[in-house]
Structure 1
C-alpha cells in the first residue's frame, strides 16, 4: 500500500512525513511518495532532505492563468494519482494531505480495512476521518468501533487502482471531493470511517480560508490509544451483516426527544434514537449538539441511510430520518 502525500507550499509537511515514518510498521509495505505542486522552494528543500527515504515527485504544469486554488488542487490530485497508479503501478494508495497528523494505529487501520475492500465491493473507500469526531461526541480513546457511511469524508483516505481506472478519466476540474459525493459517482457504495479519527489537521491556512478549521476541524479528536485492527473481526462491516446488525440495533432502540436527551430524562437505555423529519429539523438538532450541519448531495456528514450516530454523555445516539422504520 503506497502512501501519497499531497504537498504544495507548506514546509511544515515535515511534521506530516516524520509522523508517517514514526508510525510506519514496514518500509517496504508502505512506501512514501510525496507529490509537490506550487514549486515552493522552502518546501522543496525540506522534501529533498529526505533523500531516497521518500519518492519525491514534482508537478510542473504548463502555466494557466486565473485558476482558483480548488482548480489547482484537483489538477494536482489527478496528476499525482495517475503517477502512482499508472506509472509506478501501485494497486492501493492512502492519500494524506500535507497538513495531517496520523495516529499510532493509522497503518493498522488501513491494512485491516484493505482486506475488507477486497471482500465487499460495496466499499469504495476507507477514510481515517470522522467529521463529527469532537471529543464530547465520541467514545473514549482507543475505541475500535468503525462504521459504514454513505458520505465521502476524505482527510486521509484509501482507494484502489480499480476505482481510479473508473473515476480518473472523468476527474473534475475543481471541487473533486464534492464531485466524489455525487450519486453518479458513488453508485450507492460506502466508505468505512472510524468512531475516533486516525488523522488530525493542523493546517488552518489553505484554500478554504480557515472557514471550517476554527469552527470544527481543530476540535476533532485523534486517537491516542493503539488498536491492533489486524487482530479484530471486521466482518460486521460487510454490507449484509451491517444492514442486519447495525440497523436492528438502531431500530430496536427507544425513541426519545431532543429535549429529553439534553435534560437527561426519559429512557435510561445506553442506545437511543431521535427522529428528524426534514433537513431543517436535522440542522437545528445538529447545531445545538455541535454536529456538522451541512448536507452534500442530500446526505448529512457521516450518515448511513440517513442515520447520524454519535456519543452524548455516555449514550450512543442515532439521529434517524422519520421515514426510517
Structure 2
C-alpha cells in the first residue's frame, strides 16, 4: 500500500491494516463524520497453509437520516428532478449527483460539445452489481463531447434495484440479464447478452460501442470512434476498433493521432459492426474455463482479420476488484497507462490503416530502418543521436513468443509484457523517446523477415539474458511499491501475537 493509502486509513482511525501480513484478510468500515465503525482481520496461524474465511455483518442506519433529518435541497422541489431527489434520499455515495449546490443532472449531457457524426453509433455498458462504478462511467460518458448525441443502453447482470434506479434518474435505457453460471461463465454470458441486445434495441444501428463499468474515458472518445468507423466500412480485414492499446505507456507511446493494426482482441472500450456481432454471438465461448476476450483472439474468430487501436489509448482501466484485475496489477500497470487528454484530436491518415496501404508502408519503413542489435539489459539500448527508425530481428516461431524474444524488449521498455497482444504479422512496434523501434520475429513474420540481410543474425535470448532482464524488471516493479511484503512468523510471545506484531518485512 502506498503512502497516500496509509495516510488515508490512519486519518480515519484504522489500526490493524498496517499489521496484516501476506495472504491475510482485513476489513474496515467507517462513516464520514463518524469514524471507524468496525475493523477485523484474520491471520495466518502456525501449521496452516492458508487463513480461515471470515465474514463481517453490520447493520447501520442511513447517515443522512441519522444526522440530517429532513435532508432537503432547493432543487428537490423541481418537477423534473423529483426522481433524482428520491434517489438521493434513498442511496448514499453519489457525490455531485446529490449535492445541494449545482448537482449533476440528466440535462447536463445536452450541454456538451457536439461531435461530427455521419451515423448513430449507440453505446452498450456491460455491468453487474456495481452502481457506484456505473455512475462514475455514466457521469464521465455524459460529460464529454458527443455525450448528448449518443444513445446509451446499460446491460445489467442481475438488475439490482439501486442500479436500475440510477439509470432511470440519468435517463438511460437499461436491460436486465438473468445471471448464468459463475465466475467467468457469468461474465461471458453477460457480454454475449449485451452484444445481442444492443443491436436488437437499436435496429437501425450498423455499429455499436461496448464499454465496461471500470473505465475512465478520454474527452475525444466519441470523436475517435466516429472517425475510425470509416475503417470498419472500408476494410473487411478489420473486425474491431479498440480504444485501448496495451503499449500505451509513457516510455513506449506518444502520438495521439496515430492508428495501429494488431492481431489482438476487443478490450477496454471497442466498436464492432452488426455483422461481426451476429457472427460471434452464435459461435460464443462454450461453458467451462476461459474468457470471452481470449476466445475472440482465436484463429476461428479472427479469420485473418485485425484490430485497429490508437497508439495512445482513449480509455483507462480503474477498477481493482474486477474478475481479472486486482489491486497489484492495477497499480503495477494500469495506473501508468497513457491516455489522450485533447478533445479535438484529428486522427492521422485513416486510409493508411487499410490493409494494403499499411502493409506497404510497414515494408518501406522496415527497409529504410537502421538495423541494430540492442541489449535489452540496457534501458537506453538504441543508438544515441540518431533519429531512427530502428529494427532488430529476433527468434520467434509463433505469436505466443515461446522463446521470450518479444517480452525481453517489452520488459526492458517497461510496458505490458504478460503476453504479446500488440503484434502485427510478427512485428512489434514501439515508440521510444519519439523514435520508432521495430522488433521482427523470425520465422514468424513471413511477410517481413525477408527484409533481413543474410549477414544480419537473428537474436536468440539465452537463459542468462532472460534471467538478467527479468531480474531488472522485478527490481523496477518493486520500486513502484514503498514497502516490502509482510510475513507472519511463529513462534512469538503471546503479547506480540495479540498485537499482530509477529511479522517481518
Q: Same fold (TM over 0.5)?
A: yes
Q: Which residue of 1 aligns with 2:323?
A: 207
Q: Which residue of 2 aligns with 1:121?
A: 236
Alignment equivalent of 2:183, drawn from 54, 64, 69:
69
Name 1:256's counterpart in structure 2: 372
Given the alignment, which residue of 361, 365, 388 partners 1:270? 388
Question: In structure 1, which of residues 163, 166, 191 is the aligned counterpart of residue 276 of structure 2?
Answer: 163
Are the counterparts in 2 of residues 270 and 315 from structure 1 also a CA contact under 8 Å? yes
Q: What are the Cα deviations for residues 251-306 of structure 1, in whole angstroms up to 9, with x where unaligned?
A: 320111222772443671331112221322222222222232244xxxx2211112
Q: How does 1:1-325 map to 2 (within 5 A)?
A: 1-10=121-130, 11-25=132-146, 27-28=148-149, 30-50=150-170, 53-61=171-179, 67-89=181-203, 90-139=205-254, 143-172=256-285, 173=287, 174-210=290-326, 212-229=329-346, 233-259=349-375, 262-265=380-383, 268-278=386-396, 279=401, 280-295=404-419, 300-323=420-443, 324=449, 325=451
Q: Output the CA distance in 1 between the equivalents of 2:334 and 2:264.
A: 17
Kept after mapping to 2: 8 A contact 1:134/1:220: yes
Counterpart-to-counterpart distance in 2, 1:198 and 1:261: 27
Distance 2:185 2:297 in 1: 17
CA contact (8 A) 1:127 1:157 kept: yes
Q: Is the 8 A contact 2:251 2:415 kept in 1?
A: no
Q: Secondary structure at the match of 2:343?
A: coil
Provide TM-score, normalisation by structure 2: 0.58
Q: Secondary structure, in 3 states, of the residue corresponding to 2:124?
A: strand
**In the TM superposition, what whole-angstrom CA distance separates every residue of 1:156-188 from its partner, at most 9, and x where no partner exists?**
000111111111111114511001000111011
Corresponding pairs, count: 311
Q: For the structure 1 residues 165 and 39, does the alpha-carbon distance in structure 2 shift closer, same or farther, using more than 3 Å as the test?
A: closer
Cα shift readout 1:75-110 (whole Å, capped 9, x = no counterpart): 011112211113432321100000111111111111
CA distance in 1, matches of 2:140, 2:175: 20
State the 1:321 CA deviation: 1.2
> Take 2:230 and 2:136, find their aligned partners in 1: how far apart are those partners?
29
**Which structure is richer in relative contact order (CA contacts within 8 A, separation 6 or more)?**
1
Moved more, 282-291 or 126-135: 282-291
Deviates more, 1:238-247 or 1:85-94: 85-94
Structure 2 CA distance for aligned equivalents of residues 185 and 84 of structure 1: 20
- TM-score, normalised to structure 1, is 0.89
Q: Give 5+ residue unaligned stretches, structure 2.
A: 1-120, 444-448, 452-505
Runs of 4+ aligned structure 1 residues displaced above 4 Å come to none
Counterpart-to-counterpart distance in 2, 1:304 and 1:227: 28
Largest Rg, 1 or 2: 2
Partners of 1:292 and 1:156 lie apart in 2 by: 18
CA contact (8 A) 2:379 2:412 kept: no
CA distance in 1, matches of 2:273, 2:361: 27
Do 2:242 and 2:307's aligned partners in 1 also have CA atoms closer than 8 Å?
A: yes
Provide the C-alpha distance between the structure 2 equivalents of 1:34 and 1:87, rounded to a whole number of angstroms.
11
Once the two structures are TM-superposed, the CA of residue 153 in structure 1 deviates from its matched residue by 4.2
